[in-house]
Amino acid sequence: MKYCVETFDLTKNYGDFKAVDDLKMKIKNKSIFGFLGPNGAGKTTTIKMLTCLALPTTGTATVAGNDILKNPNEVRQKIGMIPQMVSLYGDLTVKENIQLCGDFYGVTRDLRDSRADELMEMVDIKYAENKPVSQLSGGMKQKASVVASLIHQPDILFLDEPTIGLDPTTKRVLWDMVEELNSEGRSIILCSHDMYEVELLCDDVGIINRGVLAAFDTPQGLKDTMINERKTEKTSRSSNITKIVEEIQKEASPKENASFNKIKDYIEKKNRDSMELSIMISNLDENIVNQLEKLPITYNITKQHSGRIVIEMEDSEESVTQIISSIIENNGNMTSISTKDPSLEDVFVRVTTKKEKVGEE
Ligand SMILES: Nc1ncnc2c1ncn2[C@@H]1O[C@H](COP(=O)(O)OP(=O)(O)OP(=O)(O)O)[C@@H](O)[C@H]1O
Ligand SMILES: [Mg+2]
């Protein structure tokens, strides 16, 4: 099986409102997939359809090779779900909730209890196994929910914002667990607003916006696309400026023309080979910035608070060396240096503020 999930024009309407609109998506088997999108984009609605908790209005999907409409029971056996809102029984203890889940999936009593112990140890909730769920903290409830969802050893695990409200250490426990489950061959579908989490864990990412799949790629692929789009935009911006300069040149004197040609060369050069470098300097002062501005390879320098400068400059190895030398010569104390590539958050904001649909594979 190549894909753990494949959707075919999957659509969910609430009255006239399309919460999920003609979704065509293929999630690789045994991968960790990050499902992103703004609030109300349709992530939970999609997950509900894929986990047979809600029926599609039109279209369908296969999950673990089974059609969600024709074989919902087979789908349910293959999946585990950690919902956005913890859905355990408050009056029952942690252990009783987990046992109930195991029984629901037909796990034998011995297996159920040994797995429950192992999983509870793993997420560190065993100490509270006899407490009613209603008396647990949010994070403890989430841990109990994780154990309950894994008791039948599902092939595919759906996690809908699983680390919300978890403390940093517990988050890491959950991330390690997701990686471990994946290395055992399980597919993971993770809805999240935490870009660090997504970048850390996910092989592929889909971004849904207003019910429509707006992007689908690896995290690096999404960033590369954004870098290329930015380059194209920059080229078109600078060619527009060049056109304006050429218009003005028609009326200019020979002397003015020479100056205009210099401007055009500068625009062209800057467009062809510029890069951005972000440098943190703990003792940043005017002199350091002035000296950098004097270098012929710097185009623009932006000073940010907290001593960071962003330098738009010629894209070559020698120019990076020149920048560093200049800072050192002027007694600048550099504490970090990095190229300014877009983050996954930049990609998210860009993709979700456009209205586009990605095609089928
Ligand atoms: N039962 C329902 N009845 C009517 N509208 C609904 C229902 N469930 C969800 N919606 C609407 O469908 C849209 C998608 O909701 P959904 O819960 O799928 O968003 P989401 O992407 O999971 O958002 P979030 O990141 O906030 O969890 C929203 O506009 C929501 O109001
Ligand atoms: Mg949701």
CA–centroid distance, 45 to ligand 1, in Å, is: 6
For ligand 1, atom 27, name the residue with the nearest CA: 39
Of 196, 217, 238, at which residue does a domain stop?
Answer: 217
Specify whether 45 is located in the same domain as 191.
yes
Specify whether 48 is located in the same domain as 186.
yes
Atom of ligand 1 nearest to the CA of 48: 18
In a domain, 241, yes or no: no
Specify whether 175 is located in the same domain as 296.
no
Specify whether 58 is located in the same domain as 160.
yes
Q: In the sheet that 32-36 helps form, which strands lie side by side, from edge to edge? A: 79-82, 156-160, 187-191, 32-36, 204-209, 212-217
In a domain, 228, yes or no: no
Of 200, 217, 234, at which residue does a domain stop?
Answer: 217
CA–centroid distance, 95 to ligand 1, in Å, is: 31
Specify whether 168 is located in the same domain as 296.
no
pLDDT at 274: 78
Q: In which domain, by residue range, is 299 found? A: 274-341
CA–centroid distance, 346 to ligand 1, in Å, is: 24
pLDDT at 356: 52
Specify whether 174 is located in the same domain as 280.
no
Question: Mind listing the pLDDT tens digit for each residue in 251-304?
Answer: 888 888 888 888 877 777 766 677 889 899 999 999 999 999 999 899 889 988
In a domain, 267, yes or no: no
pTM (two decimals)? 0.80
List phi, psi (to 5°) of 59: 80, 175
In a domain, 243, yes or no: no
Specify whether 205 is located in the same domain as 304.
no
List phi, psi (to 5°) of 187: -90, 140
Give the list of residues 6+ apart from residue 299 with CB closer than 8 angstroms, or none. Answer: 270, 274, 312, 313, 314
Of 168, 198, 217, at which residue does a domain stop?
Answer: 217
Specify whether 211 is located in the same domain as 323.
no
Name the residue of 10, 11, 12, 14 to mutate for ligand 1: max ligand atoms within 8 A of Cβ.
Answer: 14
Specify whether 153 is located in the same domain as 300.
no
For ligand 1, atom 6, name the residue with the nearest CA: 14
pLDDT at 272: 65
**In CATH, what number is assigned to the domain containing residue 293?**
3.30.70.100
Specify whether 35 is located in the same domain as 134.
yes
Counting as low any pLDDT under 70, the low residues of the chain are 270-272, 355-361
In a domain, 268, yes or no: no
CA–centroid distance, 146 to ligand 1, in Å, is: 23
CA–centroid distance, 82 to ligand 2, in Å, is: 12
In a domain, 223, yes or no: no
**In CATH, what number is assigned to the domain containing residue 189?**
3.40.50.300
Count of domains for the chain: 2
Specify whether 165 is located in the same domain as 286.
no
Specify whether 152 is located in the same domain as 280.
no
pLDDT at 360: 42
pLDDT at 41: 97
Q: Residues with beta carbon inside 6 Å of ligand 1?
A: 14, 19, 37, 39-45, 84
